Structure formats: C-alpha cells, structure tokens
C-alpha cells in the first residue's frame, strides 16, 4: 500500500497506525485533509469491503445523528441528493459539491433544508474507491457565509482519496485478524418498523459498548438508543435499492467491525412482521476471512492458497493443484502468514476455523 506514496501520505498512514479508535482516526484524517481542503465539519465512514455495509463511523462538528439519518433516508428513498454516493462510486468522478446558495438542483429540497437548518452552506462528499473496491466515504462541511468548496478543492480531495483509503486500511489491519475476545454471548436486538428497539438481550448492550460509538450515559439509559452502525445495516436490508448478491431489500445484511479486541460481526435479518432481528457477536471463521483478506490486501492467488489450506490440503497437494513449484507456494504462504499475523499453518487454521 505504500509503494509510490508521497511523504504527506506516508505520514498519514503512519499516524493511522497509532490511533486507538475510529473517532481518533477520523480526527487525524480531518486534520490531514484540512491542509489541502479546509473545512469546519466532517463525517468519515468506512464500509465492509465485501458487503458494502457501514463498519465504522467518525464525525466532528458535522451533521447531527438525527440529521445524518434524515439525509440518508432522503437519499435512499427519494434520491434526494444531486451526488448520491452510489453514483460517485460508479462514476469516473468520485467527488461532488452541493452549495445551499448555488443553482437549484432537481431532487435536493430536503438536503438543502437540513443543511440550512444546521447552518451548513457547502458540502463536499468523496467516495473512497481504490483498486476497484469501495472502502467508505468522506463528507466535508463549511458553514453558511463561508467560501463554498471550489472545483479546484474538489479535484484536490479526489487526489487525496488513495491516501485516505490507505489510512483506513492501516487502521483496520492494526486490529488482530481474529474474533473479538470480549467473551460475551451473542447480543440480540429486535427493531420495529419505525426503527425503535422493541427488545434487547442484556449482552446486546455489552457488544454495543464494544463498538465505542455511544456514550456511557446512553448505554445506561432504560431505553437503549439506536447505534449508527446497526442503523445503517438495517437500512441496507430495508431500502428500495436493487438487490445485489450480497445485499438488498429482504436479504440478510452483514458487516464486520474492527475493534481493539478483534473483529465483531453484526447481522440484520428482516422478519415477516416488518421488524428486523439483529445479532452482534465475535466474527469468526471464513466469514471473518473474506473481509480480512480484502483489508489485508491478499492477492487473488493468495486467497486461493488460503482456501486450500483451510480445506486441510497439504502443501504438496496445493502446489500440484495450482501447478506451481513448492518454492513458489512457500512464498505465497509466507506472505499469507505475514498479512494474517501468524507464523505457522497451525496458527492460521486456529485463527480462522476455531
């Protein structure tokens, strides 16, 4: 990930190694981006690179939680943004700017109203796409009365995307590629059609605390508030967008979240009543491997090798199947061990099969 990286970009990636939470990572990235594109507020969201569902979020002086959800719903249900993230991801230009005082654009009245209510005058949104994979998105904000984001600044932001992705990946790969070690039983939530939490097991609060996105006072309240990562996952299974093999209306949703103690899996499953059941627990096995493989940068050939290892094939059998020499296979295995943070085949099997 570091080949050809500029000195400032390398410094950002190095700083991402030192942070202890997604909130700290967001602040580091905001300060770094601010040297080229000054802004007042920001929201940084990373997504599970396999499913596209949100996996961690950081914000500072940006939209409130309520406003962010209102905008997400407006964009999802009414296409109420001139630059929806789906289009930015798919298009040749991954950045868009909306100014409240600019020319009126079709399908953006709710967006403009929310921005005006919060005193936001200009929004720059950047889809974080690199190597054909979507890793997240960054939203930068300026208040009303300030200079709006310019086309030159939008271009600068797009040029920063690769280094921002590298910082996200460095943060995620700093988490041990293993199941979270909290040791609590799976947490279960049932969400009503109006997104209120109808019921929750005691362990659900413990797992949500592990996500480090809600303050302690909110977690201690009798009525558990909705956590952002869970909310975005439930929207992905409720939403009207066209289904894909990994997500879409009526299909189970899945995201894997890196935490200091390992990885957490959150699943959302629609119920016939219109409610959604959510489970939170340690991510394990091949389910964890598929996400870690992308975060860690395993090559397609390394993915094939590791799949054969997990099937229990010997090195000689794998080399024969792949038509490679034992020396070449050994090089692949060394690279896999390094990226997975293990030293032996036994450790690899223990990490992803147990």
Q: What is the pLDDT of residues 291-337, one digit of tens each?
A: 988 999 998 899 899 889 988 899 999 999 999 999 999 999 999 98
pLDDT at 250 exceeding the cut of 70:
no
pLDDT at 38 exceeding the cut of 70:
yes
pLDDT at 243 exceeding the cut of 80:
no
Closest CA to 283 of 307, 252, 258: 258
The tokens for 185 are 């039983």
pLDDT at 348 exceeding the cut of 60:
yes
Q: How far apart are CA 250 and CA 353, in angstroms?
A: 29
- Mean pLDDT score, 94-115: 75
Q: What is the pLDDT of residue 169?
A: 95
Q: What is the pLDDT of residue 214?
A: 87
- Yes or no: say if 81 and 74 are a contact pair by the CB < 8 Å rule: yes
pLDDT at 107 exceeding the cut of 80:
no
Give me the percent of the chain exceeding a pLDDT of 90: 57
Tens of pLDDT, residue by residue over 1-19, are 444 566 778 999 999 999 9
Higher pLDDT, 47 or 115: 47
Number of helices and strands in the chain (H, E)? 14, 10
Tens of pLDDT, residue by residue over 281-299, are 999 888 888 898 899 999 8
Tens of pLDDT, residue by residue over 205-239, are 999 999 988 888 888 888 888 999 999 899 888 86
Q: What is the pLDDT of residue 113?
A: 80
Average pLDDT, the chain: 87
Region at 348 (left for phi over 0; alpha for psi -120 to 50; beta for the rest)? alpha
Q: How far apart are CA 260 and CA 201, in angstroms?
A: 23
- Mean pLDDT score, 164-176: 93
pLDDT at 134 exceeding the cut of 80:
yes
Q: What is the pLDDT of residue 177?
A: 85
Least confident of 29-38, 61-70, 183-192: 61-70
What global pTM score does this model have? 0.86
Higher pLDDT, 251 or 92: 92
- Mean pLDDT score, 32-54: 95
Q: How far apart are CA 310 and CA 303, in angstroms?
A: 11
pLDDT at 199 exceeding the cut of 60:
yes
């Amino acid at each position: 990930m570091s080949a050809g990286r500029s000195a400032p970009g390398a410094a950002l990636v190095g700083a991402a190694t030192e942070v202890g939470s997604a909130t700290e990572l967001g602040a580091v990235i905001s300060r770094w981006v601010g040297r080229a594109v000054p802004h007042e507020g920001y929201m940084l969201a990373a997504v599970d690179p396999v499913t596209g569902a949100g996996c961690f979020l950081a914000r500072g002086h940006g939209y409130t939680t309520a406003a962010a959800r209102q905008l997400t719903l407006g964009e999802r249900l009414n296409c109420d943004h001139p630059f929806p993230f789906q289009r930015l991801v798919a298009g040749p230009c991954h950045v868009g700017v909306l100014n409240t005082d600019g020319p009126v654009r079709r399908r953006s009245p709710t967006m403009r109203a929310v921005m005006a209510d919060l005193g936001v005058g200009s929004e720059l949104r950047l889809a974080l796409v690199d190597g054909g994979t979507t890793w997240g998105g960054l939203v930068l904000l300026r208040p009303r009365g300030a200079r709006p984001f310019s086309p030159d600044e939008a271009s600068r932001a797009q040029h920063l995307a690769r280094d921002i992705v590298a910082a996200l990946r460095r943060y995620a790969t700093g988490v041990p590629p293993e199941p979270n070690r909290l040791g609590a039983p799976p947490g279960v939530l049932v969400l009503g059609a109006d997104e209120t939490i109808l019921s929750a097991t005691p362990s659900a609060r413990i797992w949500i605390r592990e996500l480090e996105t809600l303050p302690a006072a909110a977690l201690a309240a009798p009525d558990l508030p909705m956590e952002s990562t869970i909310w975005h996952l439930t929207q992905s299974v409720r939403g009207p967008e066209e289904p894909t093999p990994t997500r879409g209306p009526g299909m189970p949703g899945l995201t894997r979240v890196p935490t200091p103690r390992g990885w957490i899996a959150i699943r959302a499953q629609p119920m016939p009543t219109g409610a959604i059941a959510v489970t939170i627990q340690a991510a394990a096995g091949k389910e964890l491997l598929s996400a870690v493989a992308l975060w860690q940068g395993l090559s397609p050939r390394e993915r094939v090798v590791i799949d054969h290892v997990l099937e229990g094939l010997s090195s000689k059998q794998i080399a024969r199947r792949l038509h490679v020499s034992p020396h070449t296979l050994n090089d692949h295995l060394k690279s896999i061990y390094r990226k997975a943070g293990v030293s032996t085949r036994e450790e690899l099997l223990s990490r992803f099969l147990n």
